[in-house]
Protein backbone atom coordinates (compact mmCIF):
# COMPACT_ATOMS: atom_id res chain seq x y z
CA UNK A 1 0.00 0.00 0.00
CA UNK A 2 1.41 3.36 -1.07
CA UNK A 3 2.30 5.83 1.63
CA UNK A 4 0.36 9.07 1.91
CA UNK A 5 2.28 12.17 0.88
CA UNK A 6 2.89 15.16 3.14
CA UNK A 7 4.62 18.28 1.88
CA UNK A 8 6.29 20.79 4.19
CA UNK A 9 7.38 24.31 3.20
CA UNK A 10 9.91 26.71 4.71
CA UNK A 11 10.10 30.28 3.41
CA UNK A 12 13.21 31.88 4.86
CA UNK A 13 16.62 33.44 4.42
CA UNK A 14 19.77 31.34 4.78
CA UNK A 15 20.67 32.57 8.25
CA UNK A 16 17.41 31.47 9.82
CA UNK A 17 17.57 28.12 8.02
CA UNK A 18 20.30 27.03 10.44
CA UNK A 19 17.37 26.05 12.69
CA UNK A 20 15.83 23.87 9.97
CA UNK A 21 17.72 20.59 10.69
CA UNK A 22 16.22 20.38 14.19
CA UNK A 23 12.74 21.15 12.88
CA UNK A 24 13.11 18.56 10.09
CA UNK A 25 14.22 15.80 12.49
CA UNK A 26 11.36 16.70 14.83
CA UNK A 27 8.84 16.42 11.98
CA UNK A 28 10.23 13.24 10.42
CA UNK A 29 10.41 11.44 13.77
CA UNK A 30 6.62 11.81 14.07
CA UNK A 31 5.81 11.06 10.41
CA UNK A 32 7.82 7.97 9.50
CA UNK A 33 4.78 6.34 7.88
CA UNK A 34 4.42 9.13 5.30
CA UNK A 35 6.18 10.11 2.11
CA UNK A 36 7.60 13.45 3.25
CA UNK A 37 9.12 16.19 1.11
CA UNK A 38 10.52 19.37 2.61
CA UNK A 39 10.62 22.32 0.22
CA UNK A 40 12.61 25.46 1.02
CA UNK A 41 11.88 28.77 -0.74
CA UNK A 42 14.76 31.25 -0.67
CA UNK A 43 16.91 33.26 -3.05
CA UNK A 44 20.01 31.64 -1.53
CA UNK A 45 20.78 28.65 0.69
CA UNK A 46 24.37 27.85 1.66
CA UNK A 47 25.90 24.53 0.69
CA UNK A 48 26.17 23.57 4.37
CA UNK A 49 22.46 24.11 5.02
CA UNK A 50 21.54 22.22 1.85
CA UNK A 51 23.89 19.35 2.67
CA UNK A 52 22.62 19.09 6.26
CA UNK A 53 18.97 18.93 5.21
CA UNK A 54 19.77 16.40 2.48
CA UNK A 55 21.57 14.14 5.00
CA UNK A 56 18.57 14.23 7.30
CA UNK A 57 16.18 13.52 4.44
CA UNK A 58 18.27 10.52 3.38
CA UNK A 59 18.39 9.19 6.95
CA UNK A 60 14.58 9.16 7.16
CA UNK A 61 13.93 8.16 3.53
CA UNK A 62 12.40 11.57 2.83
CA UNK A 63 13.22 14.32 0.33
CA UNK A 64 14.60 17.84 0.58
CA UNK A 65 14.18 20.21 -2.37
CA UNK A 66 15.53 23.76 -2.52
CA UNK A 67 13.61 26.03 -4.88
CA UNK A 68 15.49 29.22 -5.67
CA UNK A 69 13.17 32.21 -5.84
CA UNK A 70 14.38 35.07 -8.07
CA UNK A 71 15.40 38.15 -6.07
CA UNK A 72 12.94 40.37 -7.94
CA UNK A 73 9.98 38.60 -6.32
CA UNK A 74 8.42 40.89 -3.69
CA UNK A 75 11.31 43.36 -4.07
CA UNK A 76 8.62 46.07 -4.26
CA UNK A 77 7.99 45.61 -0.53
CA UNK A 78 10.85 48.02 0.16
CA UNK A 79 8.70 50.79 -1.36
CA UNK A 80 6.14 50.66 1.45
CA UNK A 81 6.43 51.94 5.04
CA UNK A 82 7.44 49.02 7.24
CA UNK A 83 7.22 46.52 4.38
CA UNK A 84 10.61 45.01 5.12
CA UNK A 85 11.42 46.55 8.51
CA UNK A 86 12.17 43.70 10.90
CA UNK A 87 11.29 41.01 8.37
CA UNK A 88 13.06 39.93 5.15
CA UNK A 89 11.15 39.59 1.90
CA UNK A 90 11.74 35.83 2.06
CA UNK A 91 8.76 35.68 4.42
CA UNK A 92 6.45 36.50 1.52
CA UNK A 93 7.79 33.81 -0.82
CA UNK A 94 5.32 31.12 0.28
CA UNK A 95 2.58 33.19 -1.36
CA UNK A 96 4.17 32.09 -4.65
CA UNK A 97 3.64 28.38 -3.95
CA UNK A 98 1.34 28.00 -6.95
CA UNK A 99 3.96 29.52 -9.23
CA UNK A 100 7.10 27.67 -8.11
CA UNK A 101 6.11 24.31 -6.62
CA UNK A 102 6.02 21.22 -8.90
CA UNK A 103 2.68 20.63 -10.62
CA UNK A 104 2.05 17.42 -8.71
CA UNK A 105 1.96 19.34 -5.40
CA UNK A 106 -1.65 20.29 -4.63
CA UNK A 107 -1.32 21.16 -0.94
CA UNK A 108 1.50 21.99 1.44
CA UNK A 109 1.95 22.93 5.10
CA UNK A 110 3.95 26.13 5.47
CA UNK A 111 5.58 26.63 8.88
CA UNK A 112 7.89 29.16 10.45
CA UNK A 113 11.12 27.92 11.98
CA UNK A 114 9.99 28.68 15.54
CA UNK A 115 7.50 25.80 15.66
CA UNK A 116 7.68 22.37 17.26
CA UNK A 117 5.69 19.24 16.42
CA UNK A 118 4.18 17.17 19.23
CA UNK A 119 2.08 14.67 17.26
CA UNK A 120 1.20 13.77 13.68
CA UNK A 121 -0.53 16.38 11.50
CA UNK A 122 -2.46 13.69 9.60
CA UNK A 123 -5.85 14.51 11.12
CA UNK A 124 -5.89 18.04 9.65
CA UNK A 125 -3.35 18.03 6.80
CA UNK A 126 -5.94 16.56 4.43
CA UNK A 127 -8.80 18.88 5.51
CA UNK A 128 -11.18 20.35 2.92
CA UNK A 129 -10.10 23.82 1.75
CA UNK A 130 -13.73 24.78 1.06
CA UNK A 131 -12.49 26.21 -2.25
CA UNK A 132 -10.31 28.77 -0.43
CA UNK A 133 -6.60 29.53 -0.60
CA UNK A 134 -5.57 29.01 2.99
CA UNK A 135 -6.36 27.25 6.23
CA UNK A 136 -5.03 29.08 9.27
CA UNK A 137 -5.35 29.10 13.05
CA UNK A 138 -6.36 31.90 15.39
CA UNK A 139 -3.58 34.12 16.65
CA UNK A 140 -5.27 35.30 19.83
CA UNK A 141 -8.41 34.56 21.85
CA UNK A 142 -11.53 32.71 20.58
CA UNK A 143 -13.13 34.44 17.62
CA UNK A 144 -15.61 37.20 18.27
CA UNK A 145 -17.94 39.12 15.96
CA UNK A 146 -15.91 40.20 12.90
CA UNK A 147 -18.57 42.32 11.19
CA UNK A 148 -16.75 45.60 11.88
CA UNK A 149 -13.16 44.41 11.55
CA UNK A 150 -12.57 46.16 8.22
CA UNK A 151 -13.73 49.48 9.65
CA UNK A 152 -11.61 48.94 12.76
CA UNK A 153 -8.55 48.19 10.59
CA UNK A 154 -7.89 44.84 12.27
CA UNK A 155 -7.08 42.70 9.23
CA UNK A 156 -3.92 44.47 8.09
CA UNK A 157 -2.72 44.50 11.70
CA UNK A 158 -2.46 40.70 11.44
CA UNK A 159 -5.82 39.37 12.61
CA UNK A 160 -7.33 36.81 12.94
CA UNK A 161 -4.97 34.20 11.48
CA UNK A 162 -1.31 33.82 12.41
CA UNK A 163 0.97 33.22 9.42
CA UNK A 164 3.35 30.96 11.36
CA UNK A 165 1.41 27.84 10.36
CA UNK A 166 -0.68 27.78 7.19
CA UNK A 167 -2.10 25.01 5.02
CA UNK A 168 -1.85 26.20 1.41
CA UNK A 169 -4.24 25.22 -1.37
CA UNK A 170 -1.50 25.11 -3.99
CA UNK A 171 -3.85 23.73 -6.63
CA UNK A 172 -6.11 26.78 -6.46
CA UNK A 173 -3.17 29.21 -6.17
CA UNK A 174 -1.72 27.70 -9.34
CA UNK A 175 -5.06 27.67 -11.18
CA UNK A 176 -5.72 31.35 -10.40
CA UNK A 177 -2.13 32.43 -11.10
CA UNK A 178 -1.72 33.96 -7.65
CA UNK A 179 1.48 35.99 -7.93
CA UNK A 180 3.26 38.91 -6.28
CA UNK A 181 1.56 41.41 -8.59
CA UNK A 182 -1.82 40.55 -7.04
CA UNK A 183 -0.57 41.65 -3.63
CA UNK A 184 1.17 44.72 -5.00
CA UNK A 185 -2.05 45.86 -6.67
CA UNK A 186 -4.01 45.23 -3.47
CA UNK A 187 -1.56 47.27 -1.40
CA UNK A 188 -1.66 50.18 -3.86
CA UNK A 189 -5.44 50.29 -4.22
CA UNK A 190 -6.74 49.18 -0.81
CA UNK A 191 -4.05 49.85 1.80
CA UNK A 192 -1.95 52.82 0.67
CA UNK A 193 -4.97 55.19 0.61
CA UNK A 194 -5.56 54.42 4.31
CA UNK A 195 -2.04 55.38 5.38
CA UNK A 196 -0.09 53.74 8.18
CA UNK A 197 -2.16 51.98 10.79
CA UNK A 198 -2.12 53.02 14.43
CA UNK A 199 -1.44 51.13 17.66
CA UNK A 200 -3.12 52.61 20.72
CA UNK A 201 -3.49 55.87 18.86
CA UNK A 202 0.13 56.06 17.68
CA UNK A 203 1.42 55.77 14.11
CA UNK A 204 2.97 52.33 13.74
CA UNK A 205 5.17 53.29 10.81
CA UNK A 206 3.66 50.38 8.86
CA UNK A 207 1.03 49.92 6.20
CA UNK A 208 0.48 46.30 7.24
CA UNK A 209 1.91 43.73 9.66
CA UNK A 210 4.27 41.98 7.22
CA UNK A 211 3.00 38.85 5.46
CA UNK A 212 0.53 38.14 8.27
CA UNK A 213 -1.21 41.48 7.86
CA UNK A 214 -1.14 41.13 4.09
CA UNK A 215 -2.83 37.71 3.91
CA UNK A 216 -5.46 38.63 6.51
CA UNK A 217 -6.35 41.74 4.54
CA UNK A 218 -5.90 40.72 0.91
CA UNK A 219 -7.18 37.14 1.34
CA UNK A 220 -9.70 37.68 4.14
CA UNK A 221 -12.49 36.05 2.10
CA UNK A 222 -10.17 33.18 1.15
CA UNK A 223 -9.30 31.96 4.65
CA UNK A 224 -10.64 28.92 6.48
CA UNK A 225 -10.22 29.92 10.12
CA UNK A 226 -9.52 27.11 12.59
CA UNK A 227 -9.95 27.40 16.34
CA UNK A 228 -8.75 24.13 17.88
CA UNK A 229 -5.86 22.30 19.51
CA UNK A 230 -4.31 21.04 16.27
CA UNK A 231 -2.21 24.20 16.09
CA UNK A 232 -1.48 26.46 19.04
CA UNK A 233 0.17 29.85 18.81
CA UNK A 234 1.87 30.64 22.12
CA UNK A 235 0.41 34.16 21.92
CA UNK A 236 -3.04 32.60 22.41
CA UNK A 237 -3.34 32.38 26.20
CA UNK A 238 -6.70 30.59 25.79
CA UNK A 239 -4.93 27.47 24.46
CA UNK A 240 -1.39 27.82 25.82
CA UNK A 241 -2.01 25.61 28.86
CA UNK A 242 -3.05 22.74 26.55
CA UNK A 243 0.11 22.72 24.41
CA UNK A 244 0.82 19.04 25.13
CA UNK A 245 -2.35 18.11 23.22
CA UNK A 246 -1.38 20.09 20.12
CA UNK A 247 0.11 18.75 16.92
CA UNK A 248 2.04 21.98 16.32
CA UNK A 249 3.04 24.72 18.74
CA UNK A 250 4.19 28.02 17.28
CA UNK A 251 6.39 29.85 19.76
CA UNK A 252 5.57 33.39 18.68
CA UNK A 253 5.75 34.71 22.24
CA UNK A 254 8.48 37.29 22.93
CA UNK A 255 10.09 35.32 25.76
CA UNK A 256 9.50 31.66 24.86
CA UNK A 257 11.70 30.61 21.94
CA UNK A 258 13.06 27.05 22.28
CA UNK A 259 15.13 27.42 19.11
CA UNK A 260 17.10 30.23 20.79
CA UNK A 261 17.53 28.37 24.07
CA UNK A 262 20.36 26.42 25.65
CA UNK A 263 19.83 23.07 27.43
CA UNK A 264 20.24 24.78 30.80
CA UNK A 265 17.20 26.94 30.13
CA UNK A 266 14.97 24.03 31.08
CA UNK A 267 16.16 24.44 34.69
CA UNK A 268 13.63 26.64 36.41
CA UNK A 269 11.55 27.03 33.25
CA UNK A 270 7.75 26.70 33.60
CA UNK A 271 7.62 24.11 30.79
CA UNK A 272 10.89 22.14 30.92
CA UNK A 273 9.56 19.36 28.69
CA UNK A 274 9.49 21.79 25.76
CA UNK A 275 13.19 22.56 26.06
CA UNK A 276 14.12 18.95 26.71
CA UNK A 277 12.30 17.84 23.55
CA UNK A 278 13.82 20.60 21.46
CA UNK A 279 17.40 19.78 22.47
CA UNK A 280 16.79 16.07 22.01
CA UNK A 281 15.88 16.75 18.37
CA UNK A 282 18.76 19.19 18.01
CA UNK A 283 21.25 16.58 19.17
CA UNK A 284 19.71 14.00 16.84
CA UNK A 285 20.15 16.45 13.97
CA UNK A 286 23.79 17.05 14.96
CA UNK A 287 24.37 13.30 15.15
CA UNK A 288 23.20 12.94 11.55
CA UNK A 289 24.88 16.03 10.09
CA UNK A 290 28.14 16.13 12.07
CA UNK A 291 28.54 12.60 13.47
CA UNK A 292 29.03 13.93 17.00
CA UNK A 293 30.50 11.81 19.79
CA UNK A 294 29.17 10.84 23.21
CA UNK A 295 31.71 13.25 24.75
CA UNK A 296 30.25 16.08 22.70
CA UNK A 297 26.76 15.26 23.99
CA UNK A 298 27.98 15.20 27.59
CA UNK A 299 29.75 18.54 27.22
CA UNK A 300 26.74 20.00 25.40
CA UNK A 301 24.62 19.49 28.51
CA UNK A 302 27.26 19.98 31.23
CA UNK A 303 28.47 23.34 29.93
CA UNK A 304 24.95 24.74 30.09
CA UNK A 305 23.60 22.86 33.11
CA UNK A 306 26.40 23.47 35.62
CA UNK A 307 25.99 27.26 36.09
CA UNK A 308 22.19 27.02 35.93
CA UNK A 309 21.93 24.41 38.67
CA UNK A 310 23.86 26.74 40.96
CA UNK A 311 21.38 29.52 40.15
CA UNK A 312 18.18 27.51 39.95
CA UNK A 313 16.21 30.07 41.98
CA UNK A 314 16.04 32.18 38.81
CA UNK A 315 14.97 31.82 35.21
CA UNK A 316 17.74 33.12 32.96
CA UNK A 317 16.07 35.02 30.09
CA UNK A 318 17.25 34.25 26.57
CA UNK A 319 14.68 35.83 24.22
CA UNK A 320 14.13 39.55 24.79
CA UNK A 321 13.86 41.92 21.84
CA UNK A 322 16.45 44.57 22.75
CA UNK A 323 18.66 42.21 24.71
CA UNK A 324 20.48 39.59 22.65
CA UNK A 325 21.89 36.80 24.77
CA UNK A 326 25.32 35.87 23.43
CA UNK A 327 27.72 32.98 24.13
CA UNK A 328 29.37 33.51 27.49
CA UNK A 329 31.78 32.01 30.01
CA UNK A 330 29.67 33.63 32.73
CA UNK A 331 26.16 32.87 33.94
CA UNK A 332 24.82 34.85 30.97
CA UNK A 333 25.82 37.75 28.74
CA UNK A 334 23.58 40.20 26.91
CA UNK A 335 24.07 42.79 24.18
CA UNK A 336 21.90 45.89 24.09
CA UNK A 337 20.81 46.06 20.44
CA UNK A 338 18.23 48.87 20.40
CA UNK A 339 17.60 52.39 21.65
CA UNK A 340 14.03 51.39 22.38
CA UNK A 341 13.69 50.76 26.12
CA UNK A 342 13.38 47.11 27.18
CA UNK A 343 13.61 45.61 30.63
CA UNK A 344 15.28 42.31 31.39
CA UNK A 345 13.59 40.25 34.11
CA UNK A 346 15.25 37.36 35.89
CA UNK A 347 12.06 35.71 37.11
CA UNK A 348 12.08 33.72 40.31
CA UNK A 349 11.73 30.08 39.31
CA UNK A 350 9.45 27.45 40.80
CA UNK A 351 12.46 26.21 42.80
CA UNK A 352 12.47 29.40 44.87
CA UNK A 353 10.04 29.04 47.76
CA UNK A 354 9.30 32.63 48.66
CA UNK A 355 8.13 33.46 52.16
CA UNK A 356 6.44 36.67 53.36
CA UNK A 357 9.68 38.10 54.74
CA UNK A 358 12.79 40.09 53.82
CA UNK A 359 15.49 38.80 51.47
CA UNK A 360 18.77 40.16 50.16
CA UNK A 361 19.18 39.89 46.40
CA UNK A 362 22.53 40.48 44.68
CA UNK A 363 23.42 40.74 41.00
CA UNK A 364 27.15 40.80 40.14
CA UNK A 365 28.06 41.99 36.66
CA UNK A 366 30.47 43.81 34.36
CA UNK A 367 29.61 46.28 31.59
CA UNK A 368 31.59 46.88 28.41
CA UNK A 369 30.71 50.60 28.66
CA UNK A 370 30.34 53.14 31.45
CA UNK A 371 26.71 53.71 32.48
CA UNK A 372 25.43 56.60 34.58
CA UNK A 373 22.40 55.88 36.71
CA UNK A 374 22.08 52.17 35.92
CA UNK A 375 19.06 50.86 37.82
CA UNK A 376 18.52 47.55 39.60
CA UNK A 377 14.80 46.81 39.23
CA UNK A 378 12.30 44.71 41.13
CA UNK A 379 9.18 43.55 39.28
CA UNK A 380 5.77 42.99 40.87
CA UNK A 381 2.18 42.84 39.62
CA UNK A 382 2.94 44.29 36.19
CA UNK A 383 4.84 47.18 37.80
CA UNK A 384 8.46 47.85 38.72
CA UNK A 385 10.44 49.42 41.54
CA UNK A 386 13.96 50.86 41.36
CA UNK A 387 15.84 48.96 44.06
CA UNK A 388 19.23 50.60 43.57
CA UNK A 389 20.93 53.02 41.16
CA UNK A 390 24.68 52.96 40.44
CA UNK A 391 27.19 54.68 38.19
CA UNK A 392 28.92 51.79 36.45
CA UNK A 393 32.61 51.94 35.46
CA UNK A 394 33.57 50.24 32.21
CA UNK A 395 34.89 46.68 32.63
CA UNK A 396 34.84 46.83 36.44
CA UNK A 397 33.11 44.25 38.61
CA UNK A 398 29.92 45.83 39.98
CA UNK A 399 27.43 44.49 42.52
CA UNK A 400 23.79 45.45 42.80
CA UNK A 401 22.52 44.66 46.29
CA UNK A 402 19.03 45.31 47.61
CA UNK A 403 16.53 44.14 50.17
CA UNK A 404 13.08 43.03 49.10
CA UNK A 405 10.23 41.95 51.31
CA UNK A 406 7.64 39.53 49.96
CA UNK A 407 5.41 40.43 52.88
CA UNK A 408 5.01 43.87 51.32
CA UNK A 409 5.08 43.07 47.62
CA UNK A 410 4.82 39.86 45.61
CA UNK A 411 7.94 40.31 43.48
CA UNK A 412 8.13 38.18 40.33
CA UNK A 413 11.81 38.82 39.66
CA UNK A 414 14.65 41.32 39.43
CA UNK A 415 16.64 42.78 36.57
CA UNK A 416 17.59 45.92 34.70
CA UNK A 417 16.78 47.92 31.57
CA UNK A 418 18.71 49.63 28.78
CA UNK A 419 17.17 53.04 29.55
CA UNK A 420 20.43 54.56 30.84
CA UNK A 421 22.66 53.10 28.13
CA UNK A 422 24.15 55.55 25.64
CA UNK A 423 25.98 52.99 23.49
CA UNK A 424 24.23 50.44 21.29
CA UNK A 425 26.14 47.18 21.60
CA UNK A 426 26.86 47.55 25.31
CA UNK A 427 27.53 44.11 26.75
CA UNK A 428 26.45 43.11 30.24
CA UNK A 429 28.13 40.01 31.67
CA UNK A 430 26.03 38.59 34.49
CA UNK A 431 28.50 36.79 36.74
CA UNK A 432 26.41 35.90 39.75
CA UNK A 433 22.81 36.22 40.93
CA UNK A 434 21.68 35.23 44.42
CA UNK A 435 18.78 35.64 46.80
CA UNK A 436 19.00 34.78 50.50
CA UNK A 437 17.00 35.42 53.62
CA UNK A 438 18.30 38.60 55.26
CA UNK A 439 20.55 38.32 58.31
CA UNK A 440 18.22 40.60 60.26
CA UNK A 441 15.32 38.26 59.52
CA UNK A 442 17.31 35.23 60.72
CA UNK A 443 18.58 36.99 63.86
CA UNK A 444 15.07 38.07 64.76
CA UNK A 445 13.91 34.47 64.62
CA UNK A 446 16.82 33.21 66.76
Cβ atoms of residues 166 and 180 within 8 Å: no
DSSP character at residue 273? H
- DSSP reduced 3-state for 271: coil
pLDDT tens for the chain, 446 residues long, are 789 999 999 999 999 999 999 999 999 999 999 999 999 999 999 999 999 999 999 999 999 999 999 999 999 999 988 777 778 899 999 999 999 999 999 999 999 999 999 999 999 999 999 999 999 998 876 666 777 777 778 888 888 999 999 999 999 999 999 999 999 999 999 999 998 887 766 667 888 899 999 999 999 999 999 989 999 999 888 888 899 999 999 999 878 899 999 999 988 888 999 999 999 999 999 999 998 888 888 888 888 888 899 999 999 998 788 899 999 999 999 999 988 889 999 999 999 999 999 999 999 999 999 999 999 999 999 999 999 999 999 999 999 999 999 999 999 999 999 999 999 999 999 999 999 999 765 555 55
Query: pLDDT, tens digit, for every residue of 39-63?
Result: 999 999 999 999 999 999 999 999 9
At 441 the pLDDT is 59
- Nearby residues of 366 by Cβ (< 8 Å), 6 or more positions away: 395, 396, 397, 398, 428, 429, 431
Closest to 20 in 3D by CA, of 43, 38, 44, 47: 38
- CATH classification for the domain delimited by 5-250, as one of 3.90.550.10, 3.30.70.2860, 3.40.50.300, 3.40.50.720: 3.90.550.10
Where do you find CATH 2.60.120.260 in the chain? 319-445
Specify which residues 249 forms β-bridges with: 116, 232
Query: What fold does the segment set 319-445 form as a domain?
Result: Jelly Rolls (2.60.120)
Where do you find CATH 3.90.550.10 in the chain? 5-250
At 84 the pLDDT is 79
- Nearby residues of 426 by Cβ (< 8 Å), 6 or more positions away: 335, 336, 367, 368, 369, 371, 418
Specify which residues 67 forms β-bridges with: 41
Query: What is the helix, strand, coil percentage profile of the chain, to 5?
Result: 30, 30, 40
What CA–CA distance (Å, rounded) separates 107 from 400? 56
Query: pLDDT, tens digit, for every residue of 82-111?
Result: 777 778 899 999 999 999 999 999 999 999
- Nearby residues of 314 by Cβ (< 8 Å), 6 or more positions away: 268, 346, 347, 348, 349, 352, 413, 433, 435
At 412 the pLDDT is 97
Cβ burial 18-57 (10 Å sphere, 16+ → b, else e): ebbbbbbbbbbebbeebebbbbbbbbebeeebeebbbbbb
Amino acid sequence: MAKKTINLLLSSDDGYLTYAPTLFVNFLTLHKEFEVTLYAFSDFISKKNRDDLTKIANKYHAKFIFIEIPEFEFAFMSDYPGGLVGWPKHLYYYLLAGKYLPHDVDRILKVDLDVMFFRSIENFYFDDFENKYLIGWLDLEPLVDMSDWLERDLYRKGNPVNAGVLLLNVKKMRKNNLEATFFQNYIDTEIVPKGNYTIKGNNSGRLFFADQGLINAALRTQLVIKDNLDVIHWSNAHYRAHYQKAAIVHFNHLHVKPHKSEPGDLIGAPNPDIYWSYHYYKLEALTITQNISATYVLNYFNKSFTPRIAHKDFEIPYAVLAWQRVPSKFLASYLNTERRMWRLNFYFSHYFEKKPQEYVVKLTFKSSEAISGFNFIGYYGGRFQVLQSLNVVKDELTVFEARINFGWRDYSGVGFSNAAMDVIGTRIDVIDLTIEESVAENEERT
